[in-house]
Amino acid sequence: MKRSKVPTPYILIKANTTSKWDEVTFAIICASEDWKVLMSQRLEVINQFKANRDFYCHVYWDAPLGYYVGTMPTNLLEKILRRHEDYIFVTLEPGEETALTKPINKLDVHQLFITKNGIAHYKAYGKYTGEEFRTEEFNLSRLVNH
């Protein structure tokens, strides 16, 4: 996995968990052209609620490509993300995603939260523990227009 200076279909984003025994450090979002079209449609739907002061966010059933643990000889997250970055476009070699370490928890109830300002984050829960796994917030409007 390598950083990319140009947009790619894969976005590495910081992630965390409330679990005391499981770990997650990042997620990968597959930002294909179909994904961008779908997110644009969702942003359009949410746009009509901007004037409503009581509206906070809309929640969709959706998930990133996966949540992962950055335990490699040199911490993968530190190697790819700079200190001030929450996400970055990356290139993945064939089969590289399947070789990444996933959390021990089986994740369930995958959700995507989008605020009226176009800020989003993914969230999932441990199937048997209810522990929360989530990505950092990101500007969905900006990603869709890349």
Domain spans in the chain, listed from the N-terminal domain onward: 2-144
Residue range 74-113, pLDDT digits in tens: 566 677 877 788 899 999 988 888 888 899 889 999 999 9
Q: What is the pLDDT of residue 4?
A: 92
Q: What is the pLDDT of residue 40?
A: 96
Show the beta-strand stretches assigned E in 1-146.
2-3, 10-17, 26-30, 57-61, 66-68, 87-91, 107-115, 119-126, 132-135, 138-139
DSSP readout, 51-72?
T-TT--EEEEE---SEEEB--S
Residue range 49-68, pLDDT digits in tens: 999 999 999 999 999 999 99
Kindly provide the b/e burial profile for residues 86-114, where b requires at least 16 CB atoms within 10 angstroms of the residue's own CB: ebbbbebeeeeeeebeebebebeebebbb
- For residue 132, pLDDT beyond 80: yes
